[in-house]
């Protein structure tokens, strides 16, 4: 817009500022309403982390969609404490299994039913939907811990070799218990020493900390054919959506149509040609992928 400097400029500028303030207020109201929808959709008794617990807050932002899933049973907690807690909860679920190729897929019954229907529809047009490896679907706590320790070991070795991390500091972190490693890894990532995506992005886009994986819920699966847009459309038709930014093989069973997802407090983010449905908590893509965009460099857990 061209502004002519006259006595009326003050009036024009004031009007523009008022419009901006009104737009900002409307955005804040919309974000508050969306967050309220998400929180209201969580399982009864679910403990929402306080803002001071940055580790737990990150986990909810990244993996929170699974907690508002419909059709199956959503996890009752953000993180399971140990193998016993996971085993006990998984034993309470109604599940089914199928073998695809040489891989056994175990999911909650509703999720597997929808997955099977998606496979049938894909096969009718000469497409396949197959699990991506042994850990594609159900995982136990020990599985998540094994994968976490392997990835953290690789990341620490990489940054030592790159002369960005001292060997003694890497050894100290490697020797910590998994729960103690998480804030340490987040702290390193705040300084751009990433552990995910070939060490170019946050580990949360590739792997969850022990006890926090969506795969524990048996409402998630990694598939080989995720690059196919047609496959993604078929999976979405049957309630399977991508919910973890940049984890491209990963799909989550939410059990509703795409049109219903906003009513659960989820919103769509488009990134690198994909559509991800994540909790609508007023966080941008840049802020999710790089905490420095928030101006909050600390990632320590403050309980």
Phi, psi at 118, each rounded to 5°? -65, -40
pLDDT tens column, 59-85: 999 999 999 999 899 999 999 999 999
pLDDT tens column, 95-136: 999 999 999 999 999 999 999 999 999 999 999 999 999 999
Residue 215: partners with Cβ closer than 8 Å, 6 or more residues away: 135, 137, 138, 139, 143, 144, 221
The Cα 235–Cα 111 span in angstroms is: 11
Mean pLDDT calculated for residue range 235-250: 96
Q: Is the pTM of this model over 0.75?
A: yes
- The model's confidence at residue 34, banded by pLDDT at 50, 70 and 90, is confident
- pLDDT for position 33: 81
Q: Is the pLDDT of residue 303 over 60?
A: no
Percent of the chain with pLDDT over 70: 84
- pLDDT for position 286: 74
The Cα 263–Cα 254 span in angstroms is: 12
- pLDDT for position 297: 33
Helix ranges, 131-279 (H):
141-161, 167-174, 178-190, 229-237
Mean pLDDT calculated for residue range 176-182: 95
- The model's confidence at residue 231, banded by pLDDT at 50, 70 and 90, is very high
- pLDDT for position 278: 95
């Amino acid at each position: 817009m061209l502004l002519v400097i006259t006595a009326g400029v003050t009036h024009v500028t004031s009007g523009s500022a008022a419009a901006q303030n009104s737009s900002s207020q409307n955005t804040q109201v919309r974000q508050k309403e969306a967050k309220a929808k998400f929180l209201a959709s969580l399982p009864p008794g679910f403990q929402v982390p306080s803002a001071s617990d940055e580790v737990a807050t990150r986990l909810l932002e990244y993996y929170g969609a699974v907690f508002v899933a419909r059709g199956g049973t959503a996890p009752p907690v953000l993180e399971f404490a140990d193998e016993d807690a996971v085993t006990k909860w998984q034993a309470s679920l109604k599940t089914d299994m199928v073998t695809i190729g040489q891989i056994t897929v175990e999911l909650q019954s509703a999720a597997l039913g929808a997955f099977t229907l998606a496979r049938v529809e894909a096969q009718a047009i000469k497409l396949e939907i197959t699990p991506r490896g042994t850990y594609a679907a159900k995982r136990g706590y020990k599985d998540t811990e094994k994968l976490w320790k392997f990835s953290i070991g690789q990341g620490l070795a990489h940054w030592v070799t790159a002369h960005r991390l001292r060997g003694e500091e890497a050894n100290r972190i490697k020797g910590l218990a998994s729960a103690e490693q998480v804030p340490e890894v987040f702290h390193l990532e705040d300084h751009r020493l990433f552990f995910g995506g070939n060490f170019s992005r946050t580990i949360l886009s590739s792997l969850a900390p022990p006890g926090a994986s969506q795969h524990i819920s048996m409402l998630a699966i990694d598939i080989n054919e995720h690059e196919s847009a047609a496959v993604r459309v078929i999976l979405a038709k049957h309630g399977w959506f991508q919910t973890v930014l940049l984890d491209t093989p990963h799909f989550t069973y939410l059990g509703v149509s795409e049109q219903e997802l906003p009513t659960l407090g989820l919103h769509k983010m488009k990134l690198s040609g994909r559509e991800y449905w994540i909790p609508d908590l007023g966080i941008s893509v840049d802020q999710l992928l790089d905490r420095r965009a928030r101006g909050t460099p600390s990632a320590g857990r403050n309980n």
